[in-house]
Structure 1
Amino acid sequence: MPNHRKRRPRVGLTDMPEVVMKNILEKSNFQSILKLRKVSRDFRNFIDDEKPEFHLEIIGIHMTSEQIKIFLKGLSENEAPHIEYQKHEKGCQIVCSRRTKSKTYLLENEDFVEVFCREFEQIMSHQKNSVLLSFSLTAPNIPDEFKRILKAKPIPIKTQIFAMTTKTHSQVMDVLPHMNPKYLKELCFYSSANSPHKKWIFDGIVESDQWKTAKTLEAVQFFVDVPLKNFHHFSAGNYFVNAVTAEELFELKENYLNSNKLKRVFIGYLDEEPLKEQELHALFGKPYFPNPRRKVDRGRWYFRVADTDTVIHLVLYFAKTLQFSLVKLNTPPIQY
């Protein structure tokens, strides 16, 4: 007897109600969304229109004159892909790597910088609401196309940590203003020139909202020549300045005593001439030495934090460095 039952038509992803498709995308990580985007033209258009959140945690970019690498990590992912956009004689070669596996594609007659910038712009359009833990950029020179994308981005990048390695201070100001100051907690600046005596002009940087709202600073492999008062709001840091005076250290100490937010700050300086022993002793009192017969530093001072069981500890080392830290009260003598 013939079977007259009608076969039900197959239902694909694009045939599902819009609310179901949105729910699928909301529960997918960024790698799954990118794969779903390749399923069909309709699904790709739907994803491009809806722009589901990627929920990225870390973005790391490394630029050279021959290639650009990007590292992406989502909130719930152990594996993170590395994508390389390489300059090729025929165009742009893309290498996608994950652990021991990798795939290579060649886009003929395409510029590797332009391809990267297009894809970076696409990625960031899906990072609207969630806040990155870290956004890092290593680039001796910032490509003009990348600058254009940052300027055109309607929403500044939301990240808790911004780290940048580059040649000069001017490159920093091409990128720093495009970080959302509301979410910034830590700034890290590194010089790719490997010259510890290179001077960076920080005048514009210290005036930025990003600088003023961050609480942790690391600026090494170069020195800056701005007054120490510009660093008062950092509760943790590691940075190098041209010189410090006893008066500046006294103001910094008073700032830490009043704010009670100090964790640990390490300061290096090039010129020790302005830091006079006589002025130090006049402002801070006589230093304490753990072992007077064998002095390992220029002196240590302790200052009680009012209404707490902690003290501000200042150590002045011989190697043109000093350190402020917050320690418990069970310490050697206290200066008031």
Structure 2
Amino acid sequence: MFRLKWFNTPFIGKTEKLPVNDQPEGPIMDMPDLVMRKIMENVDFITMLRLRKVCHAFRNFIDDTKLDNGLIKVKIDVTPSTIYAYLDFASESRKSVNLYYIRYENNCLLKVQEGRIEEAKLIKNQDFVDVFFNDFGVILRNQSKPLKKMNIETSSFDWYPEDHDRDLLNSLKTTYSFYGCCTSSRPFEYSFDATQHLHEINDKYTLQPTADKFHDRFDCILKLRKSPISIQNLEMKVLRPSYFLNMARLIDMKQLREIVIWKTPGYSERKDGKQLVLNEIVELDVFKYIQKLNISHFKVTMPLEIFLHIPDLTVSISTLTVEDVLLIKKNMMTSPTVKSRRVYYDSIKDADTLHNTLGHANSDYGKIWYFKLPGLDQILKISRELHETCFSFTWTKTSCIYNNAVVY
């Protein structure tokens, strides 16, 4: 278990870098590689990060050995002034580790949390994005086994953990109040006070520069890998489709089965007056193998027929037509193994004609049509949801439909 010695050992706790010739190297590095490998196989991921900070020899050995750290899931939240990483491991003794990187003027507040144990420190004169990749880059370079899930979400607004290390912030507040960063000299007594202080420090920053740097650094590390990283489920909330496409091209397509991509709220769906589209996704090698695809807010302008080999599909288009609905209906009726389809739209062309073509609608909630699949206890449910511009196509059973419903 990680005991947070990362923060208080003589060398690891230092924020400044030692000259190369002064880096400490102990007799342990004189051990044979096989012995070192056996030792490192029993070292958890966070301890690896600590050891990388001891000396160049440890860092090079860890980076070159590609040891399995047991990591299975990663969630990263990016805001204008923060990066939070939540890491889940396969180990029964250590389920998760949370890493928090927060901008503090030209410095970085770093907090590590494992279970109920946590510690925080200030890393001076280093950008928080750089500090994050100094640590997380080890994962990207060394991860050998497939990740079950990678989730990256960008948000336009900064948010901070409620359980701040107030002692650390109080000590920093005294220092930085001389530069006009603090409006009050009283100590922080509540989490709200600390949060307000961080908002005052970082209120001038916006998401775009942070997102650009984050994705550039992320992609650069993936490009340096000897083989593409393996991810089974990729979820991303991004400002621009290019962030997703650049990363997707650096992933092992043989493993990727689920993609969920949507746009960061609060930013326009247009760039230079043009609608943001994600048509390039059909050019990815993984496209013909994908089992689940969810594209929200970004539009696709390719014919819907191109996407109908995907069992679980959600897409957004500008205009929905009668032909689109009938095409999906036919696809579902002839492919009962398909899970579902959801199509979001800005407008419907000839809505009255569409409704008449489908027949009488059951209208308990929005408009619903039922179509029985011959020979099976399976009914196709087509619904136009009342408060959303969405048509959904899902399967249900006869027992789940009320008695007076019209079934075709």
- TM-score normalised per structure 2: 0.66
Shift of 1:325: 0.9
Distance 1:312 1:196, change over 3 A: farther
Hey, what's the Cα distance between the residues in 2 that align with 1:197 and 1:187? 20
Q: How does 1:169-180 map to 2 (within 5 A)?
A: 169-180=241-252
Counterpart residue number, 1:312: 380
Counterpart residue number, 2:353: 278
- Give yes or no for contact 1:94–1:106 (8 Å, CA) kept in 2: yes
Pairing 1:321–2:390 present? yes
Hey, what's the Cα distance between the residues in 2 that align with 1:280 and 1:175? 41
Distance 1:154 1:255, change over 3 A: farther
Amino acid at match of 1:73: D
Hey, what's the Cα distance between the residues in 2 that align with 1:317 and 1:88? 45
Counterpart residue number, 1:98: 114
Q: How does 1:57-68 map to 2 (within 5 A)?
A: 57-68=72-83
Distance 1:232 1:112, change over 3 A: same
Instruction: Report Cα offsets for 1:254-310 as digits up to 9, x if no partner.
Output: 2223333222333322102x144335544x4x2353xxxx654334131416x5432
Hey, what's the Cα distance between the residues in 2 that align with 1:156 and 1:17? 30
Give the secondary structure class of the aligned counterpart of 2:252. coil
Counterpart residue number, 1:265: 341
Counterpart residue number, 2:308: 232
Hey, what's the Cα distance between the residues in 2 that align with 1:32 and 1:234? 42
Counterpart residue number, 2:238: 166
Hey, what's the Cα distance between the residues in 2 that align with 1:316 and 1:226? 22
Counterpart residue number, 2:69: 54
Shift of 1:64: 3.2
Distance 1:115 1:279, change over 3 A: closer
Distance 1:151 1:126, change over 3 A: closer
Match of 1:136 among 141, 145, 151: 151
Counterpart residue number, 1:4: none
Q: How does 1:34-45 map to 2 (within 5 A)?
A: 34-35=49-50, 45=60
Q: How does 1:118-197 map to 2 (within 5 A)?
A: 118-128=134-144, 130-139=145-154, 140=207, 141-143=211-213, 144-194=216-266
Amino acid at match of 1:277: D
Aligned length: 315
Higher relative contact order (Cα pairs below 8 Å, separated by 6+ residues): 2
Hey, what's the Cα distance between the residues in 1 that align with 2:366 and 2:60? 66
Pairing 1:82–2:154 present? no
Amino acid at match of 2:240: T
Which has the larger displacement, 213-222 or 159-168? 213-222
Share of identical aligned residues, percent?
Answer: 24
Match of 2:360 among 284, 287, 296: 287
Amino acid at match of 2:353: Q
Hey, what's the Cα distance between the residues in 2 that align with 1:312 and 1:36? 57
Q: As a proportion of its length, which structure holds more helix?
A: 2
Hey, what's the Cα distance between the residues in 1 that align with 2:219 and 2:128? 15
Counterpart residue number, 2:126: 110
Shift of 1:89: 4.4
Give the secondary structure class of the aligned counterpart of 2:142. coil
Counterpart residue number, 1:5: none
Shift of 1:154: 3.0
- Give yes or no for contact 2:360–2:406 (8 Å, CA) kept in 1: no
Q: CA RMSD in A?
A: 3.3
Shift of 1:18: 4.6
Amino acid at match of 2:257: K
Counterpart residue number, 2:328: 252
Hey, what's the Cα distance between the residues in 2 that align with 1:101 and 1:27? 21
Shift of 1:135: 0.8
- Give yes or no for contact 1:29–1:74 (8 Å, CA) kept in 2: no
Give the secondary structure class of the aligned counterpart of 2:391. strand
Shift of 1:161: 1.4
Instruction: Report Cα offsets for 1:221-252 as digits up to 9, x if no partner.
Output: 55444432243133224443222112112221
- Give yes or no for contact 2:67–2:142 (8 Å, CA) kept in 1: yes
Hey, what's the Cα distance between the residues in 1 that align with 2:37 and 2:77? 33
- Give yes or no for contact 2:49–2:135 (8 Å, CA) kept in 1: no
Amino acid at match of 1:55: G
Give the secondary structure class of the aligned counterpart of 2:246. coil
Which has the larger displacement, 325-334 or 255-264? 325-334
Distance 1:28 1:257, change over 3 A: farther
- Give yes or no for contact 1:87–1:93 (8 Å, CA) kept in 2: yes
